Amino acid sequence: MLVVDNIHTHYGKIEALHGVSVEVNKGEIVSLIGANGAGKTTLLMSVCGNPQASSGRILLEGRDITTAPTAEIMRSGIAIVPEGRRVFPGLTVEENLHMGGFFNTKSEIQKSLEHVYELFPRLKEREHQRAGTMSGGEQQMLAIGRALMSRPRMIILDEPSLGLAPIIIAQIFEIIGQLRDEGITVFLVEQNAHQALSLADRGYVLETGRIRLHDTGKNLLANPEIREAYLGG
Amino acid sequence: MAAQNFRHALFCAIVTLIIAYPILGLNLEARGIDITLTGADTFTVVMVFIAAVVVFAFQLFRDGIMETFKSLPGLRSGGAHKEPMAENRRARIESWVITGIVVLALFWPFFVSRGSVDLATLVLIYVILALGLNVVVGLAGLLDLGYVAFYAVGAYTFALLSEYLGVSFWLALPIGALLAALFGLVLGFPVLRLRGDYLAIVTLGFGEIIRILLNNWTSLTGGPNGIGGIPDPTLFGMEFGRRVKEEGNVSFHETFGIAYAGEHKVIFLYLIALVLAVFTALVIRRFMRMPVGRAWEALREDEIAARSLGMSRTAVKLSAFTIGAFFAGFAGTVFASKQGFISPESFVFLESAIILAIVVLGGMGSQIGVILAAVAVTILPELAREFSEYRMLIFGAAMVLMMVWRPQGLMPMRRIHIELKGQE
């Protein structure tokens, strides 16, 4: 589905990623964990073409998107839930969702809308409420729902558990599992290593711009080094 | 509490005295080459003191007074909770009222003085400008401080085309608007990556470049001397002057066999401005409901989110700049025709600031609010002429008060949505 092949990404002169390779296969959940500043978000942003990788290749369903413009990448069957939710605060829930289906036809939007409301009944309740007035958890649901509106084959989530209560986090992760069951490929970037790894089929550990470990989610959870560094012993 | 109130009230009263006494109580008079300072008459001084006492009393009992105001029925109800039906009816009533106002505006100039019609034309030009800037600032959220540049492009396009090529108003109108739009597109490219303050500075610079260029390109634009003799618009080849200026044209009053009157031309210009203003409002309203309008708003609300949904920052920003500039070109052409003479003086930064003030005062993104504000901002200084030198002071104070009490503008943009009763 998504192949990141030995990419280097620079912010100005500073190199943030020193040759990172990640592979996400169709229908699986892959988690990327790492500490602050490890380059997790940079890796995601490189996939989205903002900033573009300075060397290496990124393939989406076999197509080279390394130097494609962001707008084009985001319209080719991939959707991202950006870090910090980023819903449109002044728009209502429904309007936010409509924005997600910006490039789809009306009937497609209607179908996706029903689907999203089915996944998140809470959003249906808040249909006409301004997104900015909702709680963090509801906004995160909205951000995921909005990303789903374009009917993506793959969804990238950047720290969906950020700043949320444990019970809400559990709900969000449950939904992520559900998405995989529907056949959507999920690439999950998390600091919340325990939950991210228990849900994932496979996991990558990113450290200061390099992939340090790569294994199945179960094995990584059991790995003593990982337990020490990310799971608090 | 009481002591604190008393101190605050005393402070306010003293500030009132400090501000009011020098302005109203002292006069500077020129006697020959000297300037002498004279005190005002007793009446003024007494009035100033009474004003200070009123301020003192109000501040002292402010809490009580505000309480009574709040308890007045009807002030705070309205707005918040409306059934969908009421919202619909309101929209329908609104559109009827607006249609009524436009119809009234069509016949109004035939019953009032020439001066008022002239002023109304100016108001309409500002309405067009403000509606155009509203797209850029209010909808797309791009702070543009050089909007007057596009206005100048429109005006100078007409002036130059008529001077060198003898092009008429009607041909120059679309050319001016399109050229302004082109300039908008050109400005759009360098500012694509900029936001907020940085964008404001670059657009400010662009506005100045255009003005300075017009000022210094003497061989083409006449520099500070400006361009005069810009023709009036014609009605199907009929001129509004006493004598026909161009071969082959006929004059309006002779065709219809009525006596010549200077008002005809003024009213005709007013009607053109009115039609263009209505046209602008309708076109932009249409844009707002189209996907491009929603994309502008998405970009304003959150650029990263908008981009994550596959919107192209380039296309969205450029479209906003181009469309905004297009209507400024319209306004510029009408302005050139109305004045008959333009110079770079008319396109200084203050104009940009005033248009921006109109958009902010009216309520960003709200068309009706912006139109109301354009009317208020253009007419208020005229009405306040009696206060002569305090005119700008009053105008400035009105703006400050407005921003303190209603920062969202006269009529904030109302998104089409409903709130149900009984929902928390």
Question: Which residues in chain B have Cβ-Cβ distances shorter than 8 Å to A86?
Answer: 302, 304-305, 308
pTM: 0.79
CB contacts < 8 A, A to B, total 73
Q: Is residue B184 part of a domain?
A: yes
Of B309, B313, B417, the CB nearest to A100: B309
Interface test with A, best of B308, B414, B417, B424 (most A CBs within 10 A): B308
| Contact assignment for B417 to A128 by CB distance below 8 Å | yes
Distance CA B326, CA B178 (A): 6
Per-residue exposure over B165-194, b if at least 16 CB sit within 10 Å of its own CB, e if not: eebbbeebbebbbbbbbbbbeebbeebeeb
B180 and B311: one domain? yes
B66 and B129: one domain? no
Q: Is residue B95 part of a domain?
A: no
- Structural domain count of chain B: 2
Distance CA A2, CA B168 (A): 60
Q: Is residue B415 part of a domain?
A: no
Q: Provide the mean pLDDT of chain B.
A: 83
Q: In the CATH hierarchy, which top-level class contains the domain A1-72+189-233?
A: alpha beta
Question: Which residues in chain B have Cβ-Cβ distances shorter than 8 Å to A189?
Answer: none
B150 and B276: one domain? yes
Helix axes B263-289, B114-133, angle to 10 degrees: 20
Of A50, A92, A99, the CB nearest to B309: A99
| Contact assignment for A69 to B312 by CB distance below 8 Å | yes
B63 and B125: one domain? no
**Angle (CA) B412 B413 B414, round 5°:** 110
Percent of chain A scoring above 70 in pLDDT? 100
Nearest CA in chain A to B312: A71
Q: Is residue B375 part of a domain?
A: yes
Distance CA A80, CA A74 (A): 8
| Contact assignment for A70 to B418 by CB distance below 8 Å | no
B385 and B282: one domain? yes
Which of A41-45, A139-143, B5-9, B207-211 comes out lowest in average pLDDT? Answer: B5-9
Of B294, B310, B415, the CB nearest to A74: B310
pLDDT digits (tens, 9 = 90+) for B352-382: 998 998 998 888 888 888 999 899 888 877 7
Closest to B196 in 3D by CA, of B66, B300, B308:
B300
Q: Is residue B96 part of a domain?
A: no
Average pLDDT over residues B117-138: 93
Q: Is residue B22 part of a domain?
A: yes
> What residues make up the domain containing B7?
2-71
pLDDT digits (tens, 9 = 90+) for A163-210: 899 999 999 999 999 999 999 999 999 888 888 998 999 999 999 999
CB atoms within 10 A of CB B223: 15
B124 and B46: one domain? no
Distance CA B11, CA B183 (A): 52
Q: Is residue B7 part of a domain?
A: yes
B133 and B7: one domain? no
Q: Which residues face A79 on adjacent strands?
A: A155
CA torsion angle A215 A216 A219 A223 (round to 10): 40
Considering B71, B101, B127, which residue would you say is the last residue of a domain? B71
B266 and B183: one domain? yes
Domain range summary for chain A, segments of one domain joined by + = 1-72+189-233
Q: Is residue B101 part of a domain?
A: no
Location of structure tokens 């197509």: A63
ipTM of the prediction: 0.86
Question: Which residues in chain A have Cβ-Cβ distances shorter than 8 Å to B308?
Answer: 48, 74, 79-82, 86, 147
